[in-house]
A and B are shown apart, each in its own frame.
Chain A
Amino acid sequence: EDQVTQSPEALRLQEGESSSLNCSYTVSGLRGLFWYRQDPGKGPEFLFTLYSAGEEKEKERLKATLTKKESFLHITAPKPEDSATYLCAVQAMGSGGYNKLIFGAGTRLAVHP
């Protein structure tokens, strides 16, 4: 069964304290792994797509990496505005043959000044 597991469930950081979020997955034939940011009461905001092991993507203080079993979202010198829930999702084959995203439960990040 296709599955996505994120850890930790919640993370509290001091401003400037770098850390990493983990997303481990089991899927039959990975077609893409996606990272999203979700603020309270809002829909997810797209951050990165990773397609193959060894691939890396960067955006400001965020860097996403991918291996055959997991992905990491590295946050360098975070600021309070980076506080959000970070969601990981993998693309798999859904009912009727259509691609669908399977989401992890997310990591709630709180960055304190």
Chain B
Amino acid sequence: GAVVSQHPSRVICKSGTSVKIECRSLDFQATTMFWYRQFPKKSLMLMATSNEGSKATYEQGVEKDKFLINHASLTLSTLTVTSAHPEDSSFYICSARDDFGELQPQHFGDGTRLSIL
């Protein structure tokens, strides 16, 4: 149980392109999902908290207009990196927490490796 699917797993695109990443909870409902960024050999840095039916909450220093988050249903959140540039290249990981309890663990997708040329 508690499977989170993230798609695509890898994207290579030209500078200036917008890229959309999907995060789905397959066997549970998730009112709250999370988007992280991870640099090589570094830990996960929370970018934003995605809330179904309302605006996402962004961490300090994360550009809202650069990283657009939409949480349209209880099982799907999307992250769009707009007008991506080489400095946006990174490993992006989403997670979802089962609505059943506030202290339920977050379950993670397998990440998206984004490479901007």
- Please report A residues at the B interface, Cβ cutoff 8 Å: 31-32, 34, 36, 41-46, 49, 51, 87, 91, 94-96, 98-106, 108
Q: DSSP class of B's interface residues: helix, strand, loop or mixed? A: strand
Q: In whole Å, how far is A30's beta carbon from the nearest beta carbon of chain B?
A: 11
Interface range for B: 20 to 34
Say whether B105 contacts A103, CB under 8 Å. no
| Contact pick for B49, options A36, A44, A46, A94, CB 8 Å | A94
Say whether B34 contacts A32, CB under 8 Å. no
Say whether A42 contacts B110, CB under 8 Å. yes
Taken together as a complex, chains A and B put the C-alpha atoms of A94 and B58 apart, in Å, by 10
Say whether B111 contacts A43, CB under 8 Å. yes
Say whether A46 contacts B32, CB under 8 Å. no
Known: A43-B111, A87-B43, A95-B49. 17 other contacts (CB 8 A): A32-B103, A34-B106, A42-B110, A43-B4, A43-B95, A43-B110, A44-B93, A46-B2, A49-B103, A91-B103, A95-B59, A96-B49, A98-B51, A99-B102, A100-B46, A101-B34, A103-B43
Would you give 22 A-B contacts (Cβ < 8 Å), ordered by A?
Answer: A34-B105, A42-B110, A43-B4, A43-B6, A43-B93, A43-B109, A46-B105, A87-B43, A91-B103, A94-B57, A95-B58, A95-B60, A96-B57, A98-B32, A98-B49, A98-B51, A98-B57, A99-B102, A100-B34, A101-B44, A102-B46, A108-B41
Q: Known contacts being A34-B105, A95-B59, A98-B32, is A106 close to B46, with CB within 8 Å?
A: no
B59 contact set on A, CB distance < 8 A: 94-95
Q: In whole Å, how far is A91's beta carbon from the nearest beta carbon of chain B?
A: 7
Interface string of B68-112 (1 = CB under 8 A from A): 000000000000000000000000010100000011011111110
Q: Is B113 an interface position by the 8 A CB rule?
A: yes
Say whether B43 contacts A106, CB under 8 Å. yes
Instruction: Write the chain A residue with the least CB distance to B55.
Output: A96
B58 contact set on A, CB distance < 8 A: 95
